[in-house]
Structure 1
Amino acid sequence: MTPGTEERAPRVLIADDQALVRTGFRLILTARGIDVAGEAADGAEAVAKCRELRPDVALLDVRMPVLDGLEAARRILAADPSCRVLMLTTFDLDKYVYAALAAGASGFLLKDVTPEHLANAVRLVGTGDALLAPSITRRLVERFAAGDRMPADPAVHRELAVLTPREREVLTLLGHGLSNAELAAALVLSETTVKTHVARIFAKLSLRDRAQAVVVAYETGLVAPGDRDAS
């Protein structure tokens, strides 16, 4: 909103089965300069509207009729990998978090976020970054530490062999949800060097963003059960 800053705001599709929620989100986002391209009342309509409107970000409720938000996310991303998906739910349930990330979502937020946090989250994923609420990342680590992990893909294990020791270290810390600044501090590196490592990890493992890096870190065991000292 500062005069002179011409960064384009992302175009957003809002999908929720409650009209009041959609209206509230629309008012919050438009008041903060974000263009709401359209709305959908269920997952199937969200998929169709994304094909038609090609938004930068799809804001999807997890629980919707006809087609839930997770399957809608898979179909939206299969049709348009450049679209970013931000999941919203009232349910702080780990299985939804992991399933959303595995489906390709770039972020996951609870519906009790503040208006500013919601708008910032949309802008963040719209730039190609990923967003995870710190409490959700912590709970994911706890869930995996308890042994309740998703079956690992052997192909992913083989792909990790292409990473250097430093890149594996960076990926492990990404799995704990660390930002570039936090990575730089933990590894005593410049942020520029950290960004280079992160970019190489994404390229070598064909990852879209940090959310997918979190999934890989968990699936391959780089985030060790019970390891809570990364931060």
Structure 2
Amino acid sequence: MDVPRILVVDDNLVVRSGLVSLLESSGFEIAGEAGDGRTALEAAERLRPDLVLLDVQMPLMDGVEAVRTLSTFTRVIMLTYTEDQQVIRRAIEGGAMGYLVHGTFSAEELTAAVRGAISGVHALSPVALTALVGIPARTAPAEPEPPPVPPDRDRFGLSAREAEVMRLIVQGHSNGAIAARLFLAEKTVKNHVNRIYAKLGVTSRASAIASWLGTDGGGAGR
């Protein structure tokens, strides 16, 4: 099986080096690096990577402009600190397979998102889902109340507790925050999350959210 080849594009050398190190240690091949959108286009056309990790705010040409061309011949995940909803919509409309915001995912979730995107699975941070489907974002926990259980949870075979956990995942809560809200051990929450992933047939938080909301193209009848 061919090793996926990734082009890493970020004008911050420290961030770029960290991504390269993480991807290489996770079994990916680094096809190349770039620090601006224009160089990214030239490199991608020459190297033909399987996927481009693309920052948004860069010199010469930003990621939102570059993705329109890149997405015509390779898959692209926007990987950025930018949470502006208009930027997110423009990036996705431009052809990005995913939009991940630094600080909202673990190293394991990032590598799972990269593998998923190469296979055609969209990868979206909660803030990106908020921009695309209008889910109210929660930046701080509300007063504890039992989160409503979606009526369609049975189509995935989730238990009532798993559905509660999934609802909090959609709202952008970490495992630790979910544990605090539901008065559970964080290890117990992690076990619930792993079972949810298995039942939804996904390997990352973003893919689970997309599948749960029906924004992954699977629809309600999957």
Any gaps of 5 or more consecutive residues in structure 2? 137-209
| Distance in 2 between residues matched to 1:180 and 1:101, nearest whole Å | 14
User: In 2, distance between residues paired with 1:25 and 1:52?
Assistant: 21
Match of 1:32 among 26, 44, 47: 26
Normalised by the length of structure 1, the TM-score is 0.58
Q: CA deviation at 1:138?
A: 2.9
- The match for 1:117 is 109
With a CA cutoff of 8 Å and minimum separation of 6, indicate the structure with the bigger relative contact order.
1
Q: Summarize the alignment of residues 41-120 of structure 1 with structure 2, pairs less than 5 Å apart.
A: 41-78=35-72, 80=73, 83-112=74-103, 113-120=105-112
Preserved contact between residue 13 and residue 39 of structure 1 (Cα < 8 Å): yes
Cα distance in structure 2, aligned partners of 1:64 and 1:31: 26
CA contact under 8 A between 1:10 and 1:122: conserved in structure 2? no
CA distance in 2, matches of 1:77, 1:139: 20
Aligned to 1:225: none
SS in 2 for 1:108: strand
CA shift in 2, pair 1:115/1:88, >3 Å: same
Residue pair 2:50, 2:118 contacting (<8 A) in 1 also: yes
Q: Equivalents in 1 of 2:126, 2:214: separation in Å?
A: 7
Greater mean alpha carbon deviation, residues 107-116 or residues 129-138: 129-138
CA RMSD of aligned residues (A): 2.5
SS at the partner of 1:17? coil
Determine the C-alpha separation between the residues in 2 that align with 1:63 and 1:129. Answer: 24
How many aligned positions are there?
148
- Give distance in 2, aligned partners of 1:66 and 1:177: 37
1:12 pairs, out of 3, 6, 25, with: 6
- The answer to whether the Cα contact below 8 Å between 1:94 and 1:143 also exists between their aligned partners in 2 is no
TM-score by length of 2: 0.60
After TM superposition, give the deviation of residue 178 of structure 1 in Å.
4.5
Letter in 2 for 1:141: V
Residue 137 (str. 1) matches residue 117 (str. 2): no
Q: Which residue of 2 aligns with 1:197?
A: none
Q: Deviations over 1:107-135 (max 9, x none)?
A: 00012222111111111111122222244
Contact 1:84 1:126 in 2 (8 A): yes
Equivalent position of 1:126 in the other structure = 118
Q: Following the alignment from structure 1 to structure 2, what is the Cα–Cα distance between the partners of residues 16 and 45?
A: 11
Q: How does 1:184-223 map to 2 (within 5 A)?
A: 187=220, 189=221, 194=222
